[in-house]
Structure formats: C-alpha cells, structure tokens
Amino acid sequence: METENKDIEHTLVIIKPDGISRSLTGNILAMLSHPESIIVGAKVVKVTREIAIAHYAHLKEKPFFDELIDYITGNWHANRVICLVYEGNDVIQRVRNIAGATNPEEALPNTIRGKYGRIHSKTGVFENTIHCSENKSEAEREIKLWFRPEEIVHNIYPVESKTDTLEHLYWK
C-alpha cells in the first residue's frame, strides 16, 4: 500500500558520525520527537565512499567535498551513522527547523546544530551532527539511496517485484 494522503511527506534524517561518537543519538531523537513526525524506517549503516559520494553528488565541485566525504564516512569519528525516515504532514520543513542552519555558528542555540554542531578547525567542514532532506524530490532521491523498500514499514513510493540471483547471508 502506498501512502494515500498526498499531503503526507517523507524525509531522510542521518545522525552523522560526530553525533554517534559523542553519544548524541538520544538527545537528537528527543528533539525531533513530534506527534506528527512518525518514524517509518531506521537502521545503523557503515558508510561506504560510494554511498557518501552519491548522497552528496550535488556538492562535488565544492572545495570542501573531499573533507565532507572523509567526515561522513567516519574518518574522524565513528564509522557509522543512523538513518531514519520520518513521515508526516510538513515533516521536511519541521525537521529542518529543528535541525537549524547548515553552519553551526549561524544555527540558533535551541536547534540541534546550534547546540551540538562545531566547525572542524583543521578543514573548516561543518560538523553539524545531522543531515535532513531539503525538499520532496531530494527526500525521495535520498531515501531510495539509503533504504530498500522492505526496510520501510509500508511502501512510501511505488515498488516492483524482481527476482535476482544475488547471494544473501543467513544466520547459521
């Protein structure tokens, strides 16, 4: 079943490696908590260079791109992130508001980035503890990059069934 209400949005949240290594997961989840922001997918991911580069493909020409990839793949902190899909009315902007401005020095002190973010002194990269999608089309692209349909509690985008020959691991 796809989401029927067209006003319902989805957004991808990533608790970045600095958020993990500084044990901020609980605080971040508490700040994001809202009766109309429902978690429909969640997992811990070891970030590969491939997925990091695909995620930030639109920033490829930026001078900080290589350092950003180092940061998100965990070269400076934990080598994992927590990915969450939130569902709800207006959830994209609500989460962006709670996250705060991209630059932690500009983020209001009561936002996640304002409270917990910092600028990495050696590279100038904004270690801002959390990623959140900017708009509907970016959210769809990002959610489809990080999650398979089965990992989300219902089909938030159209799906098709295919048989593949990939080997999978099973518990012995």
Give the relative orientation of helices 25-32 and 91-99 as an angle to the nearest 10 degrees.
Answer: 130
Give catalytic status of residue 131 as yes or no.
Answer: yes
What whole-number distance in Å separates Cα of residue 139 and Cα of residue 86? Answer: 10
Residue 34-73 contact track with Mg ion, rule CB under 5 A, x = bound: ----------------------------------------
**Residue nearer to Mg ion on the CB measure, 134 or 140:** 134
Cα separation values, 111 from 8, 71, 92, Å: 24, 21, 15
CB atoms within 10 A of CB 66: 11
**Residue nearer to Mg ion on the CB measure, 3 or 141:** 141
Burial class (CB in 10 A: 0-12, 13-18, 19+), 6: exposed
**Residue nearer to ligand UDP on the CB measure, 89 or 135:** 135
Binding site for ligand UDP (CB under 6 A): 59, 64, 68, 102, 125-126, 128, 131, 134
Residue 97-136 contact track with Mg ion, rule CB under 5 A, x = bound: -------------------------------------x--
